[in-house]
């Protein structure tokens, strides 16, 4: 396929993915907004007023960047894992694999679909947060870059989960037993400076901690970690996981009957 034909194929898959989650917006866009609004009310307005400040900021301002990032992570992941597994379950993915499209175009189309939903949810949740706090911006470049690469990373992770899943139950195992604990223990609701030295060291093994802190730095200018290390680690993980997902497609792992 020529470059222009590959571009058309990529845009087609991406537009299909966007139309898919926009068509059922009541299931894909509305629930995260309601959930995050409840977080804002409970952890911010109610509990936050009793906690006071965290790292020099009122608690509501501290947790909002983490809540936005949490919504981006979960929605980027869930969009790709559900969409690609559905295509696999219906055997329509085989039509993509036998087409002249390069596998990286197929992978990129699904991944960018997850990124689109993640970024859209992040934007909507950010707008909702304006009803609760005056959201400031310390560094726009860092904020946009970290949310894009994080969304891409978890979109690829969702794709890999969908490839290995044998049932609809399998696509909920990772979000329930891996993604949720990592997110809640990733510094969304607290600064790791409050932890003992041992638990601070353990927290450093959590990749979500680096994403949340880099994103928080973009808004507030504070961080518990070196954001250069955060960007480097995320970029490396994106490359490694993208190449692994592409390898699975090339081999047709659990995709060809």
pLDDT digits (tens, 9 = 90+) for 104-149: 999 999 999 999 999 999 999 999 988 888 878 889 999 999 999 9
Which region among 100-104, 222-226, 241-245 has the lowest average model confidence (pLDDT)?
Answer: 222-226
Task: Supply the pLDDT for residue 180.
Answer: 87
At residue 257 the predicted structure's pLDDT band, cuts being 50, 70 and 90, is low
Flag the least confident range among 32-36, 51-55, 118-122, 224-228.
Answer: 51-55
Look at residue 45 in the predicted model and tell me its pLDDT: 65
Report the pLDDT value the prediction gives residue 74, as an integer from 0 to 100.
93
Q: What's the distance, CA 97 to chain centroid?
A: 26
With beta carbons less than 8 A apart as the criterion, state whether 164 and 245 touch.
no
| pLDDT tens, position by position, 215-238 | 999 999 988 888 888 899 999 999
Supply the pLDDT for residue 99: 85
The pair phi, psi for residue 54, each rounded to 5°, is -135, 115
Q: Is the pLDDT of residue 48 over 80?
A: no
Mean pLDDT of 232-250: 94
222 phi and psi angles, rounded to 5 deg:
-120, 150
CA pair distance 171, 66, nearest whole angstrom? 24
Average pLDDT of the chain?
A: 89
Rounded CA-CA distance 162/170 in Å is: 8
67: pLDDT strictly greater than 70: yes
- pTM value surpassing 0.85: yes
3-state secondary structure 162-196: HHHCCCCCHHHHHHHHHHHHHHHCCCCCCCHHHCC
Question: In this predicted structure, what is the pLDDT of residue 225?
Answer: 86
Mean pLDDT of 248-254: 86
**Whole-angstrom distance, CA of residue 65 vs CA of residue 208:** 13
Instruction: Give the separation between CA 179 and CA 154, rounded to whole angstroms.
Output: 10
């Amino acid at each position: 396929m020529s470059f222009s034909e590959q571009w058309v194929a990529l845009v087609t898959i991406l537009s299909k993915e966007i139309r898919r989650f926009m068509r059922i917006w009541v299931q894909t866009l509305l629930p995260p907004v309601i959930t995050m609004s409840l977080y804002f009310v409970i952890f911010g307005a109610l509990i936050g007023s009793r906690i006071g400040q965290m790292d020099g900021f009122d608690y509501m301002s501290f947790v909002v960047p983490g809540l936005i990032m949490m919504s981006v992570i979960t929605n980027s992941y869930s969009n790709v894992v559900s969409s690609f597994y559905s295509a696999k379950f219906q055997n329509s993915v085989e039509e993509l694999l036998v087409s002249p499209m390069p596998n990286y175009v197929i992978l990129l189309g699904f991944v960018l679909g997850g990124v689109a939903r993640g970024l859209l949810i992040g934007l909507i949740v950010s707008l909702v947060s304006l009803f609760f706090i005056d959201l400031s911006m310390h560094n726009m470049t860092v904020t946009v870059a970290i949310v894009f690469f994080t969304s891409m990373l978890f979109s690829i992770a969702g794709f890999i989960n969908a490839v290995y899943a044998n049932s609809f139950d399998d696509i909920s195992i990772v979000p329930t037993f891996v993604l949720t604990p990592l997110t809640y223990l990733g510094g969304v609701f607290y600064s790791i400076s409050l932890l003992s030295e041992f638990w601070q060291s353990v927290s450093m093994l959590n990749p979500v901690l680096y994403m949340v802190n880099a994103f928080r730095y973009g808004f507030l200018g504070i961080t518990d970690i070196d954001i250069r290390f955060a960007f480097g680690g995320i970029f490396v993980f994106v490359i490694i996981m993208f190449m692994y997902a592409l390898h699975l497609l090339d081999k047709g792992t659990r995709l060809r009957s």
